[in-house]
Structure 1
């Protein structure tokens, strides 16, 4: 009897450890004008905000001088904070001069692996202003795909872009996938219905993620437009909007980092 109990305990411990090791933490963050405007002090503050995640997906990396350098510097700062990180940067999106951007992923290499450096989804080039950046990640041999996306502004029909990306995802993937980014529309918008009807869920629901220029009656957040959508093969563990502002006194300094708050999502691959 004692031997059976010990065996059951060992099996339980094995599966508990295995389950925990599959958990992944990802942060999606539109870091405004991420490039030469960010000094070393600001990059260090950004690193402190994201250092506990496994994967950081960045939107709005400057396409010209300074964007790639800022990503490399942030990765280097993170490397000096206790874990080994790697990064990839997309090519500039195929957009008009003042709209084109890059995307970036930075991740801890201990458990998260990649086999290629990702690509911009050219199939969507004609349907969106800034085509999303796709990268496949692997955790303990299990693949999951992340699409990093920054839509056009709210007054320029981001809904049609969301519908185009949704169609692409639903026609192209059966494996675990996350769509992360700044959608410039609320997660309750009907444009997301095609994804939701196929079982996709959101990391956060109607949580404001943009920062006002000034506090109004103690409130400094504005619109719920940043989120993470995930497929049925992804199991949610935890999620939140990371509020690094906390009080109105910190708003000006916080906006030096970005005018968006990051979205955090902890999950496991089923």
Structure 2
């Protein structure tokens, strides 16, 4: 009898360990004009690219009618692929309507919890056009803060915004932090120097993430501007760019999803 009980306990422990998640994957993606213009088939393709992630930070959600609905529809499509997802959408950013947008974050609920629906960082609204969106996650009872950001265009001094945001993070957070987004400059820009000196590391380096309108020979990528930064309190295991184009013949179809490629970061949750 004792042997049967011991065997049962060992089996239950093994199943519990098997069910525990050791890593999570975070994706950041500027999904161009993400709103009512995205068809169901396009949402299905987007969901296929995201289904293996645990948390997805989306930039360029349309601020007017259709943006929030597109996020809800995408979440519904993801829910039909074997896992339960939830989502949070920011209020529209403060800038005039021709460039204002929303941020969205979607995540699998099995191992990841929240206590609120996030907020735009109002303290930065006078220095950043599209003020970042902050959401705290609780993973294995540990808090991880995700900040989702889309800077102003490369010819409008995004460096000033990056400096303001990174200094804000350095002075206000000590725990695990992820900064994800479209920065409109690459990770080698001096605007990131102090951020990196304070222990923040980019997921990718010198990897182009935007798509050209036309393929130049075999080259369809353009600028290295999308990235994910993690604090030194987070252990990275793998990262990269998700290239869903792969060859020039697919470029036109791929650009119907977005003119950006997603960036991913895989981290250990036991070391948060």
Q: Following TM superposition, by how much is the alpha carbon of 1:21 offset from its aligned partner in structure 2, in angstroms?
A: 2.2
By how many angstroms is 1:156 displaced? 0.2
Question: SS where residue 256 of structure 1 aligns?
Answer: coil
How far apart in 2 are the matches of 1:58 and 1:199?
A: 24
Distance in 1 (alpha carbons) for counterparts of 2:24 and 2:168: 25
The unaligned stretches of length 5 or more in structure 1 are 1-9
Q: Distance in 1 between the 2:81 and 2:21 partners?
A: 21
Please state whether the residue corresponding to 2:69 is helix, strand or coil: helix
After superposing on structure 2, the runs of 4+ consecutive aligned residues of structure 1 that deviate more than 2 Å are none
- Measured against aligned partners, the alpha-carbon deviations of 1:101-157 in whole angstroms (never above 9, x if no partner) come to 000011000001111100000000000110000000111101100000000000000
> Matches of residues 119-268 of structure 1 in structure 2 within 5 Å?
119-268=119-268
| Partner Cα distance (1:105, 1:142) in 2 | 19
When the two structures are superposed, what TM-score results if normalisation uses the length of structure 2?
0.92
CA distance in 2, matches of 1:60, 1:159: 19
Alignment of 1:97-108 (within 5 A): 97-108=97-108
* Match in the other structure for 2:36: 36
Query: What do residues 7-61 of structure 1 show as CA deviations (whole Å, max 9, x unaligned)?
Result: xxx9xx98xx59x724111100000000011010000000000000001110000
Give the secondary structure class of the aligned counterpart of 2:256: helix
CA displacement, residues 182-218 of structure 1 (integer Å, 9 cap, x when unaligned): 0000100000011111011011111100000000011
Structure 1 residues 13-32: aligned runs within 5 Å: 17=17, 21-32=21-32
CA distance in 1, matches of 2:134, 2:268: 19
**Residue 64 of structure 2: aligned partner:** 64
Structure 2, unmatched stretches of 5+, are 1-9
Aligned residues: 258
